[in-house]
Amino acid sequence: MAATDASANAGPRVVLGVSGGIAAYKACELLRLLTESGHDVTVVPTPAALRFVGEATWAALSGKPVHTEVWDDAHDVPHVRLGQQADLVMVAPATADVLARAAHGMTDDLLASVLLTARCPVVFAPAMHTEMWQHPATQANVATLRERGAIVIEPAAGRLTGADSGPGRLPEPAEIFAVARRVLARGVAGLTDDLRGRRIVVSAGGTREPLDPVRFLGNRSSGRQGYALAATAVARGGEVTVVSANVTLPDPAGAKIVRVGDAEELRAAVLDAAADADVVVMAAAVADFRPAEISTSKLKKSAGPPPPIDLVENPDVLAELGRSRRRGQVLVGFAAETDDVLANARAKLEAKGVDILVVNRVGAGVGFEVQENAATILQPAVDPVDVPLGPKTALADRILDLVVARLAAQTGRSDDR
């Protein structure tokens, strides 16, 4: 990463390149997230980008002058200095044109020059129409940039300009911001494509077991940890399927989403997706019980005490995966505990047949419905790994580090045979 001569109080230096796509307006929110979290951001829009969002907006949001031309402040040589002094260069949105010029080393504007002089991590967040993203020329340019060490985020799928819809949508600013934080924390070496070619299934959220047409038995899971795992796996090159149970978060860009409601639906979707998966991560909170009967009409209050609700056990999806998984598949489970945490977790590790068990002591500020998480990670015949309280993306990276190590070890054993 490039050295910085900023003052001790200054945050990491980020150059935010903005290219000329309709999604340029979303970069305003990304800029706000960066500056409000203490990053020192210099915005470098292309001339085309200024047709969508004006220079005054970028200056007001960044609190700094906006660099638009190679000739601005020529005595400071900005086309060289900005790239040399940055800790991170991020282009959002990155149009097909910018990806092409970056891949071919062209320097016909200030942003292109910054990309060519940068010696820090470079992240591209593409946004364009589906046909442009899927065109062989764009895919070849993306492959070239990735081979050179750049990080190219997979675009999201959804509504594009006009009535069009499909892959090519700019990921949500919060997702891009999470990538920026992860890159600054780990560097390019920590964000390799070590899951390239691997199929990963992640369950996320919490199941809801209906009582009647209005009510259900549920839990507090928001799906944040599962979605953080999915986004991190995509960033590391994985082909990711998310079985999403009642999650209201933006979909992780680049992942396939399968939506489910109750435990039976989740079981069917996970078993189907896991059939040819290399990794299965059961991060969803699956209800242990469901009502024995579901009322077809809303249950009403009565003069006497409410009628009891008879419960039956739901299938144990994690244990079923442990029994039926194919050879070489890595299985990760989660355990939310409140009492005798490690004793209960070790018993679950042995009983479920998992390779990795992530243990949460749930409570105020940890686990459910919060942005951060802390955990202890258990593996058979290995010392526990304690992960301190921090962003859920940090825990996701630590889990996937262990997954990658297990995949490599299994590959080695297969080669020996």
| Domain end position, chosen among 141, 168, 191 | 191
Summarised one tens digit per residue, pLDDT across range 87-138 is 999 999 999 999 999 999 998 889 999 999 998 999 999 999 999 999 999 9
241, 99: one domain: no
- Write the DSSP string, 318-333: HHHHHHHPPTT-EEEE
| Domain end position, chosen among 169, 191, 213 | 191
Q: What is the pLDDT at residue 3?
A: 41
Q: Is residue 39 part of a domain?
A: yes
185, 247: one domain: no
| Domain end position, chosen among 159, 191, 223 | 191
Cβ burial of 312 (10 Å; 0-12, 13-18, 19+) is exposed
- Write the DSSP string, 156-172: EEEE-STT-EEEEEPPP
108, 226: one domain: no
Q: Is residue 7 part of a domain?
A: no
Cβ burial of 321 (10 Å; 0-12, 13-18, 19+) is buried
Q: For position 19, which CATH number holds?
A: 3.40.50.1950
For β-strands 156-159 and 372-379, DSSP reports them as unpaired
Q: Which residues are catalytic?
A: 219
Asked if pLDDT for residue 77 goes beyond 80, the answer is: no
Confidence of residue 71 (pLDDT cuts 50, 70, 90): low
Domain containing 379 equals 199-416
Domains of the chain: total: 2
215, 320: one domain: yes
Amino acid residing at 93: P
Per-residue 3-state assignment (H helix, E strand, C coil) for 62-118: HCCCCCCCCCCCHHHCHHHHHHHHCCEEEEEEECHHHHHHHHCCCCCCHHHHHHHHC
**Angstrom distance (rounded) from CA 242 to CA 273:** 9
Q: How many CA atoms lie within 13 A of 176 on its CB side?
A: 33
Average pLDDT of the segment spanning 386-413? 87
Summarised one tens digit per residue, pLDDT across range 5-59 is 444 446 899 999 999 989 999 999 999 999 999 999 999 999 999 999 999 999 9
| DSSP code, position 50 | G
> Residue 262: in which H helix or E strand, if any?
none
User: Of 120, 130, 38, 50, which is closest to residue 81 (Cα–Cα)?
Assistant: 120
Q: What proportion of the chain, given as a percentage, has pLDDT over 90?
A: 57
How many C-beta atoms surround the C-beta of residue 9 within 10 A?
6
Amino acid residing at 38: G
Burial 84-104 (b: 16+ CB within 10 A, else e): ebbbbbbbbbbbbbbbbbbbe
Mean pLDDT of the chain: 87
Confidence of residue 413 (pLDDT cuts 50, 70, 90): low
Confidence of residue 4 (pLDDT cuts 50, 70, 90): very low
Structure tokens given for 167: 């892959």
Summarised one tens digit per residue, pLDDT across range 152-190 is 888 888 777 777 778 888 988 988 998 888 788 766 555
Positive or negative: CA dihedral 362, 364, 366, 368? positive
Whether the model clears a pTM of 0.85, i.e. scores above it, the answer is no
Q: What is the pLDDT at residue 370?
A: 75
How many C-beta atoms surround the C-beta of residue 352 within 10 A?
20
Q: What is the pLDDT at residue 373?
A: 86
How many C-beta atoms surround the C-beta of residue 406 within 10 A?
17
**Angstrom distance (rounded) from CA 85 to CA 137:** 31
Asked if pLDDT for residue 236 goes beyond 50, the answer is: yes
User: Of 250, 94, 251, which is closest to residue 168 (Cα–Cα)?
Assistant: 94
179, 265: one domain: no
φ/ψ region of 229 (left if φ > 0, alpha if ψ in -120 to 50, else beta) reads alpha
Confidence of residue 200 (pLDDT cuts 50, 70, 90): very high
Q: What is the pLDDT at residue 9?
A: 47
Q: For position 408, which CATH number holds?
A: 3.40.50.10300
Chain centroid to Cα 338, Å, comes to 27
165, 205: one domain: no
Q: What is the pLDDT at residue 204?
A: 97
Positive or negative: CA dihedral 343, 349, 391, 118? positive
Residue 70 CB contacts under 8 Å (≥ 6 apart), including other chains = 78, 79, 109, 110, 113
Asked if pLDDT for residue 238 goes beyond 60, the answer is: yes
Summarised one tens digit per residue, pLDDT across range 251-295 is 888 889 999 999 999 999 999 999 999 999 999 999 999 999 999
- Collapsing DSSP states into helix, strand and coil, what is residue 242? strand
187, 209: one domain: no
